[in-house]
Structure 1
């Protein structure tokens, strides 16, 4: 009986591990492992305290095209700054347009709320953890 309980417990342990359906695979954008924090008390990031505001960050630790971080009102989203349906090039850095970002290569718009556009691939999304006024964005 103890063996059955042990086996059942192990099965539950393996089945309970989940990535919450998080999938950020995109053939045009390489996977970069990074972790960066943003202190919302600093002037450079204080706009993120307000709903529908975004910041663009382009440090070397987040990949060649940077990242966008956005306050949705119920949390934060973070997306790669590269056009998701274009190979990396001189025109594949997204530009901010209100609550959307636009790819200069094909003029396609993507929502910073959802990451969705009209083409095959949505924006490449990253995880965001919030601890008081500190945001951690990571892959």
Structure 2
């Protein structure tokens, strides 16, 4: 019985992997919560699929967030507005171009549907996709949080 217990404990400990290489070293994951009322003109664009909105209020992420309705119904996505491939600086707050976010520092481009880095250089270096935030529709309000 002791051997079985020891084997299960060992298996459990080996199954719990903590991979710190997946963590983006450039962006802190700041806890926040912000409500977007879809009745307000500022966030009315979120009623249309594929129409991203920049939320630059203090306390929302590091440099704000991009929020977009990604599908029919209550499907929303939210992403950090600071470029994930370098530390925040004067050029790291990205801009919206269609359904993509553009970083003016290196002209990196990211999909606001998937968060994927679209023009990743093929130089062997590690590049990161957008930092994801939770976005949940509650009534007529989208709650974004981390």
TM-score range, shorter chain: 0.7 to 0.9
Q: Greater Rg, structure 1 or structure 2?
A: 2
Give the number of aligned pairs: 116
Question: Is the Cα contact below 8 Å between 1:25 and 1:124 reproduced in 2?
Answer: no
Report the aligned-residue RMSD.
1.4
Alignment gaps of 5+ in structure 2: 1-21, 121-126
Q: For residue 144 of structure 2, what is the aligned residue in structure 1? A: 137
Q: For residue 132 of structure 2, what is the aligned residue in structure 1? A: 125
Could you list the per-position Cα deviations for residues 12-68 of structure 1 after superposition, in whole angstroms to 9, with x for gaps in the alignment?
A: xxxxxxxxxxxx942111111100000101111011000110110111111341110
Question: Is the Cα contact below 8 Å between 1:86 and 1:105 reproduced in 2?
Answer: no
Give the TM-score normalised by structure 1. Answer: 0.79
Question: Is the Cα contact below 8 Å between 2:62 and 2:80 reproduced in 1?
Answer: no
CA positional deviation for 1:133: 1.3
C-alpha distance in 2 between matches for 1:68 and 1:101: 8
Question: Is the Cα contact below 8 Å between 1:29 and 1:84 reproduced in 2?
Answer: yes
Q: For residue 113 of structure 1, what is the aligned residue in structure 2? A: 113
Question: Is the Cα contact below 8 Å between 2:30 and 2:62 reproduced in 1?
Answer: no
